[in-house]
């Protein structure tokens, strides 16, 4: 194992319709939205949706 690497064993990986929080930033696995966020070029801020991993 590499010293600088932090491992987060066993996070859940469910699709949820509610807001989620993560114990670390950025989130490293866990429950999340079933819909992908379009992270392409946007002309306005991307709206956080419930379950999104956006900070």
Confidence of residue 48 (pLDDT cuts 50, 70, 90): low
Q: Which tens digit of pLDDT belongs to each residue from 11-25?
A: 888 998 888 888 887
47 pLDDT above the threshold of 70: no
Higher pLDDT, 55 or 1: 1
pTM recorded for the entire structure: 0.51
49 pLDDT above the threshold of 60: yes
pLDDT (0 to 100) of residue 53: 59
Handedness of CA 15, 16, 19, 21 (dihedral sign): negative
Q: How many whole angstroms separate alpha carbon 2 and alpha carbon 31?
A: 26
């Amino acid at each position: 194992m590499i010293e600088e690497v932090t491992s987060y064993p066993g996070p859940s990986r469910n699709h949820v319709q509610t807001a989620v929080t993560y114990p670390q930033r950025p989130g490293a696995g866990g429950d999340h939205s079933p819909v992908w966020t379009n992270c392409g070029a946007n002309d306005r801020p991307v709206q956080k949706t419930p379950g999104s991993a956006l900070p």
